Amino acid sequence: MFTIMISMQISINDPIRVAVVFGGGELKPVWFDWKGRQVRVKETAFTWTTRQGSAEIIHFSVTDGINLYEISFDRWSMSWSLTFTEVI
């Protein structure tokens, strides 16, 4: 018997609150609040940086063990957002 899992990527761009650990010059997201619930980050898969004008944006591809999320930190405005989610 096979199980077929279908995932769907959804563009969000919601502001979120994030708890991070700072160490070795890096940010490590621990959890974030989204729509009244706390999502615990089990793993950070990728981290990359982009620019939007003069603002530097640090992106994190994270998982809670079930779903995949892209959260981003705008270093200019010091704000976090949930950019995408991929839910199964």
User: What's the domain count of the chain?
Assistant: 1
Whether residue 3 is contained in a domain is answered as no
Range of the domain at 34: 8-87
**Average pLDDT of the segment spanning 42-49:** 96
Asked, for residue 34, whether it belongs to a domain, the answer is yes
The percentage of the chain sitting over the pLDDT mark of 90, rounded to a whole number, equals 68
| In-domain check, residue 1 | no
Residue 64 lies in a domain: yes
In a domain, 79, yes or no: yes
87 pLDDT higher than 90: no
The Cα 50–Cα 68 span in angstroms is 20
User: What's residue 4's pLDDT?
Assistant: 54
The answer to whether residue 53 scores a pLDDT higher than 80 is yes
User: DSSP alpha helices (H): ranges in the chain?
Assistant: none
* Cα(60)–Cα(71) distance, integer angstroms: 5
Q: Is a pLDDT exceeding 80 seen at residue 26?
A: yes
- Could you tell me the strand order of the sheet in which 26-34 lies? 37-40, 26-34, 8-23, 79-87, 68-74, 55-63, 43-52
Instruction: Look at residue 50 in the predicted model and tell me its pLDDT.
Output: 96
